[in-house]
A and B are shown apart, each in its own frame.
Chain A
């Protein structure tokens, strides 16, 4: 029994407490703020407060030409910039009705899948860091740096690539780089095995993640959660299989499906996804190595003169789920409206439903496993 501020005696179990987490907190992956209502250590309610990184990207599009907006697109999701670029560019390619050369399709697929791996690697390191394990970060960053070095040689930048252009890609991929990618993908499986040895069966990791943060099938659909978080609760939804874009039709890969979506199975989904992405990289490099003479990478559209008309929706299965870019063009050089549908926005919204009833220390395990990235939430 305890006295509250009015001097009325209440049972300790009936008293609630509000604590504030963020926006400057190492485990919120950026600038998310959460107001957590607790009863003892049990979470009763979470109220996520977003907008600390709202940069007004949708308004900026209205004062820029389609080409000028292209570099900004990479910043919407800085861990996987290729996906945002692709969503934006595929919408415009639909509007101006172009088809891109087959080699550009292969290179786009290759870069996107490598980007998926690099993003997952960063997630893996940070997630384990959130749970208190320092060393996995150093292991995953070794492989991540290899990918970033390849990207730097290919596009000129480590994170903000600005590599795709309307009707293709900007620069051809060289043979030496392809061999480097091939070597990387051969070694990568070994690295993943190493992570799994370190993490998957670690008893501390299992206690902190197994049966924590269970997301039911119904809630996942209601809250429009996509990506690995959705596939972990045994809903086989992946845009690469459902409505294949680029050359995913020709590739052999499977979509990993879980049974119960708890933190541990969401972790397993991403590990398996990395292996599948590695398969795709292998197939793409094989094709590109055998077609090294093909020099056609671009349909040579002048990006300065694009003045499309109509509405289009560019879609891509990004690292975190379904990413959509809606463009309404009205025949001028500026778009009328651009709207980004980002998967993290909806995952953040569902935190309250997922984490309710669990303990406060579990919150970081749940939040980390959802793979939320703040610029995507706030745009």
Chain B
């Protein structure tokens, strides 16, 4: 039984790791470097991640490229929850890792995206060079190749979000509910 499971794991991991589709989630400066990665000089297509999706429902890699503010935090959680399993997260840039240079003195920046969603790869620097992002995607790929379904579940269950969907999200998204309703 174990042999069969591990073979299935190996095949699915190989397929997953070589077709990571990132979500275009660019909040600030790092988003531009993410764009450079997909453009002519760096060409992320070499590693199977060139298909940037605009909808979270079609993506399986969330590259948090930029600062997360308290106003943005509920939306980040919402986007993450809309992504289908299995999903992976790269915190790109110092702001997404820890708050970066805004950690001292800013009243509106979340000190690290891992306060909201589980993060697989941390990529510091402000902003990281395109080579660094490619490197972190390669690292994520090698991690995916070695994982099994059970360890992945444990990793996600271990993380506790600071954001309670019930209260925080509802206050901020309440407007949205009205928006999708057809007005007169």
Contacts and interface: CB of A to CB of B under 8 A. Distances in A.
A223 to B, nearest CB: 24
A52 B107 contact: no
Nearest to B184: A4
Interface string B150-184: 00000000000000000000000001101110111
Contacts of A189: none
A16 B183 CA distance: 6
Nearest to A21: B179
Contacts of A23: 72, 75
A71 B102 CA distance: 11
A31 B27 contact: yes
Interface string B28-56: 11011101100111000000000010101
Nearest to A146: B41
Contacts of A60: 102, 104-106
B108 A30 contact: no
A178 interface: no
A63 interface: yes
A66 to B, nearest CB: 15
Nearest to A62: B105
Contacts of A122: 32, 35
B101 A30 contact: no
Contacts of A16: 183-184
B69 A52 contact: yes
A94 B79 CA distance: 47
A162 to B, nearest CB: 11
A91 interface: no
A229 to B, nearest CB: 21
A339 to B, nearest CB: 16
What is the interface residue range for chain A against chain B? 35 or more
**Which residue, B28, B36, B69, B179, has most C-beta atoms of chain A within 10 A?**
B28
A-side binding surface: helix, strand, loop or mixed? mixed
A26 B105 contact: no
B118 interface: no
A55 B102 contact: yes
Interface string B1-36: 000000000000000000000001111110111011
Interface in B65-123: 66-67, 69, 71-72, 75, 79, 101-102, 104-109
Interface stretch (A72-80, A194-202, A349-357): A72-80
B145 interface: no
Interface string A12-26: 000111111001111
B45 to A, nearest CB: 11
Q: What size tier do the contact residues of chain B reach?
A: 35 or more
Given A60-B102, A374-B28, A26 B127 contact: no
Nearest to A139: B40
B40 A159 contact: no
Given A25-B54, A26-B24, A78-B32, A35 B108 contact: no
Contacts of A159: 29, 32-33, 127
Given A64-B105, A158-B129, A53 B40 contact: no
A141 B41 contact: yes
Contact of A142 (B40, B71, B108, B180): B40
A55 B32 contact: no
Contacts of A30: 26-28, 31
A10 interface: yes
A51 interface: yes
Contacts of B72: 23, 31, 52-53
Contact of B108 (A4, A55, A71, A125): A55
B149 interface: no
B33 A375 contact: no
Interface in A127-160: 137-139, 141-142, 144-145, 148, 158-160
B126 A160 contact: yes
Given A55-B108, A59-B107, A79 B32 contact: yes
A52 B184 contact: no
Given A20-B179, A23-B75, A138-B39, A52 B32 contact: no
Which of B56, B79, B109, B184 is most buried by chain A, counting CB atoms within 10 A of its CB? B184
B28 A63 contact: no
The 9 A-B pairs of least Cβ separation, nearest first, read: A141-B39, A78-B29, A56-B106, A60-B105, A20-B179, A138-B40, A145-B41, A63-B105, A26-B54
Given A15-B182, A60-B104, 6 more contacts: A4-B182, A26-B24, A53-B28, A56-B105, A60-B102, A60-B105
Interface of A: 4-6, 10, 15-20, 23-26, 30-31, 35, 37, 51-57, 59-60, 62-64, 71-72, 75, 78-79, 122, 125-126, 137-139, 141-142, 144-145, 148, 158-160, 374-375
